[in-house]
Amino acid sequence: MNYYILADRFLLEGGEKIGGYLKIENGKFGDFANTIPEGSDVQDWSGYTIAPGLFDTHIHGVNGHDIMDGTVEAVHSISASILDQGVTRFLPTTLTSSSSDIEQAIKAITVATEQGLPGAQSEGIFLEGPYFTEKHKGAQNPDYFKKPNLDEFNAWQKLAKDSIVKIALAPERGHTMSFIKDVTATGVQVSIAHTDASYDCCMEAVSNGANNYVHLFNGMSGLHHREPGVVGAALTDQSVFAELICDGHHVHPDIATLAYEIKKEKLILITDCMRAGLMPDGDYQLGDFKVFMKDGIAKTVFGSLAGSTLQLINGVKNLQQWSGKPLYEIWHKGSLSPAHSLGISNKIGSISKGKVADYVVLNEFVDIQATAVEGDIKFKK
């Protein structure tokens, strides 16, 4: 499918391009042009802005479905449901559970992906757990916490047909450093999460290959001036990425802005959304825990935040409003930074010649009007 996009504004990595035509050729971005050959196929989005598709690297579920349902239907539903949020790529994310439940989720993701996803496309599986510690467990079930086990992970990776691209763990657990080194040597990214690790422990984990901190400020030891903790390690190390949930509940707006000012291009906007996303207030399930959502905030019976119900487009809007930074700058924290963190920014994440033509159409209020995956418009308002 070859055509041109005509629009008022394009959000690029280094700024905005005003006006012109953008060529879409065989599902990839081509060159910009001021004039085009007569008779060319044109998608006329005059009056609108074109931005790269968003990439949610941490999402458990939405619209009544969850990855831990362990069904192909759930994976397909999540893929379709996040299109109108501007998300074109995602990492189906598991959580701590029994080995059999994790294996069933892996099977479902693998089969669903092989069948072909109807909306946003998977860039691989993210295992959030089960190698965590209890103090900052959040909504992860401590009954299944354990030490990292390379044989177990390799069995999961075989089941996934090598599609596991990221795993989160607590680095203070036994055998963790050798596990990090072995896993990252195969190309899998390791994230630090649900942990009470010291600053030095985190730095050792990074030296062994860890490159990301999951939902910064949540599920981790806080910042102290004599023991910087996990938060201190995440903020002071410019070599690593950090996820941020910008719903205004998980992190105060001013602290979210501070994190952005410090991390810059290493900040990744995520949702950590669970099945209650896009659903009305009420009772839901997250793994083995009952969750109650009120006013869009999901919590366990223990009072812990249980993931979020955030839409990624709203996370972008929130941080842009809180920080006052240009939209193109904040937008790429939800598209290009996630791609960078996984080493696939040469393929996706920004409007650049040769990259996959994942894009969204925005109105003046930054509302999604259309979403295209590989140049094919999958959602139109």
Q: Which residues are catalytic?
A: 272
Neighbour tally for 25: CB within 10 Å? 16
